[in-house]
Structure 1
Amino acid sequence: MKSINDITNFIFFENNLKKADIIFIPGGSYAELGEKAAELWKNNYAPCILPSGKYSPKYGYFPSPSSKTDEYNNAYNTEWDFFYDVLIKNGVDKNTILKENNAENTYENAFKSRVVTDKLGLNIRRAIICCKNFHARRCLMYYKWAYPDSELIICPCEVQGINKSNWFKTDKGIERVMGELTRCSSQFKEYIKEFAE
């Protein structure tokens, strides 16, 4: 069905990997994002990693990891603390992990990361974003808003067994993907106005 293909191509965005100045992790509780970032760092795709995130205001605390709880089972105060642990356990040098632990949504992940990189005087010409696969488009839109002059490379990670080939076959997949489509249409009014000027 063409409409399903159109939604799939819009939401499940992905780029070919290139070496970059930084790897961003836009919050969350899935270990796969941190593991992918660590793999990229170890393969010299970027010299530093910036995980971002406090916790969802829906909970008011970091509840627990959403995957691989047998491997990552410490008490985590924030999403940043969780990803820091994932990165360290996967061989990343602690001195290359930057810190942003106040963001509570994707918009804040992007713009508070920009505050961190600006304070450090980092010139982000190209960045890799490790995110959930069905979160790719929204991450790209927000980080492009925060880093309009940077080339952004989306490196998506599959979580919850949802991917571009099967999302429309389960209630869970449909809920996740259509939820992202709704957010992309509702959250970007100001973004569109700004870039249309």
Structure 2
Amino acid sequence: MPHPFDCITEFIFAETPLEPADIILVPGGSVPELMEQAAALYHRGMAPYILPSGGANPKLQMTEWEFLRRIGIELGVPERAILREDRAKHTFQNAEFSWETLRQHGLRPNKAILCCKAFHARRALLSYRTVFPADVTFLVFPVIDKRNISRETWFRDGKGIELVMREVEKIGAYFGRHIPNWVR
């Protein structure tokens, strides 16, 4: 049965079919499920590199990058396959600094898998699309963390509603100024 908020669900919870890519991008976070899923994709041969991104986080005793890197190594991802971006303070910087890191390594992906929290997928996708060259194809792999916030569950409790509606607000704040550049 349709709900009045179905359009929000379709907008926020971006997802695409997966296929092999040049890189797996992980836009920060303090939840292990992000790197667990990125490592699983790596082991399936979906990309030769993982680039977790994220600086200091008050929830962690280290940068988000270090937290995610440690999980990847524990799961058997070789250190050489994990690139480093440990300065970003928010999603847009995850994209900016990740692009900078790729350029420094002489990497120019044609296709990238974006491994991000399910309710964060649209904002992450828009951030990376805004920063990366227009011809890069993004494949979105949404991760459901221990909070179990997904397209099927977000509207069932106050915390899910709060997180998703905050994403709607942040998208407006992040991208309103970019829209004129997108139509040129």
Could you state the TM-score of these two structures normalised by the residue count of structure 1?
A: 0.89
1:73 is matched with none
Q: Is 1:156 equivalent to 2:133 in the alignment?
A: no
Of all paired residues, the percent bearing the same amino acid is 39
Per-residue CA distance 1:87-118 (angstroms, 9 max, x = gap) = 00111011111000000000000010000111
> SS of 1:129's equivalent?
strand
1:145 is matched with 130
Task: Return the alpha-carbon distance in structure 2 between the equivalents of residues 17 and 196 of structure 1.
Answer: 28
Segments of structure 1 that go 5 or more residues without pairing to the other structure are 56-60, 65-75
Task: Return the alpha-carbon distance in structure 2 between the equivalents of residues 30 and 52 of structure 1.
Answer: 13
Q: Is 1:187 equivalent to 2:183 in the alignment?
A: no
2:59 is matched with 63
> SS of 1:24's equivalent?
strand
CA RMSD in angstroms comes to: 1.1
> SS of 1:95's equivalent?
helix
Deviation at 1:190, TM superposition (A): 2.3
Q: Which one-letter code corresponds to 1:121 in the other structure?
A: G
Runs of 4+ with >6 A deviation: none
Per-residue CA distance 1:59-104 (angstroms, 9 max, x = gap) = xx4423xxxxxxxxxxx42000000011001110111110000000
1:176 is matched with 163
1:25 is matched with 26
Contact 1:21 1:126 in 2 (8 A): yes
1:109 is matched with 94
> SS of 1:190's equivalent?
coil
Deviation at 1:2, TM superposition (A): 4.2
- Alignment coverage as a number of residue pairs: 181
1:123 is matched with 108
Q: Which one-letter code corresponds to 1:179 in the other structure?
A: R
Task: Return the alpha-carbon distance in structure 2 between the equivalents of residues 112 and 3 of structure 1.
Answer: 37
